[in-house]
A and B are shown apart, each in its own frame.
Chain A
């Protein structure tokens, strides 16, 4: 078996937040929709702006741009609807993005212990090195346990 045959290609959605590009595993992305009215009501989850209505479902909106780039998004072109794990459950969350999104299939380099908790891995694409985002570290809710890569894979296979 050659090294090349061991590479695992995965699909990712590239998204733009301001001047920077990030990636999410395509399996986590449900839909890309035009920005719609955000319904706001009193709450104490500071990272959330409110909810949007999508096909009768109310989805929490979380601008993760400030955490990643230091500034909030001034222009929103789409809401990227992604799934986020909450223990054994999945729920959708809407992530505002500022530019076009792109689906790519590449090999991901696993994150290391030195990387920030929000980095699930790294992609090399178009001359850029792009962070694959771990939404559980960027959005409110319980964080997924960070395990060394082999154990992480094992945990994923069991879930």
Chain B
């Protein structure tokens, strides 16, 4: 019987991370996972409403090239009290645009410890693990953990409905039955 191998330290490996805030809580994300950072004001004109979204954390989408990204309110995702977001992370290799309150700093982590096996809830998808910086424990988010496949399916349906509604409103004489 063994302790989880992931708790063994790998001091020689380092990873660049961005520390960011959501509702007063600090999180970390690998900087390699963040494709772009934009201000909320900057994307306001690009965002489209998703009125039929069944996900409280997603109310808007953004079209970028041939892909639709979904704007995820990170505070609601984590069950925190939502505050006005100021920045958006466009996450690489995902369909998530993440609303956050602000960036604290960029730094390097030398060790990532897997979440204790006692954690059995959704957090196992939310986080890659925990790291320590200046004697504080910081959860390192999993960029793919913000939208599950089931949630993406729901969002695609909501997007399809929004697109259809938009198309019908743009056709002269078209009526919603």
Interface residues of A (CB under 8 A from B): 39, 41-45, 48, 50-51, 53, 56-60, 62, 84-86, 88-93, 139-141, 159
Contacts and interface: CB of A to CB of B under 8 A. Distances in A.
B7 interface: yes
B65 interface: no
Contacts of A57: 7, 113
Contacts, number: 85
A66 B123 CA distance: 23
B169 interface: no
Interface in B110-124: 111, 113, 116-123
Nearest to B130: A58
A56 B9 contact: yes
A90 B139 contact: no
B52 to A, nearest CB: 26
Interface in B122-161: 122-123, 126, 130, 132, 135-139
B111 to A, nearest CB: 8
29 contacts: A39-B136, A39-B137, A41-B25, A41-B130, A42-B126, A43-B119, A43-B121, A43-B126, A44-B122, A44-B123, A51-B137, A57-B7, A60-B118, A62-B118, A84-B118, A85-B1, A86-B117, A88-B1, A88-B2, A89-B4, A90-B2, A91-B3, A91-B4, A91-B117, A139-B118, A140-B118, A141-B118, A141-B120, A159-B1
Given A42-B25, A42-B126, A60 B3 contact: no
Dominant secondary structure of chain B at its interface with chain A: loop
Interface residues of B, number: 29
Interface of B: 1-4, 7, 9, 25, 27, 78-80, 111, 113, 116-123, 126, 130, 132, 135-139
Contact of B3 (A45, A56, A90, A140): A90
A59 B116 contact: yes
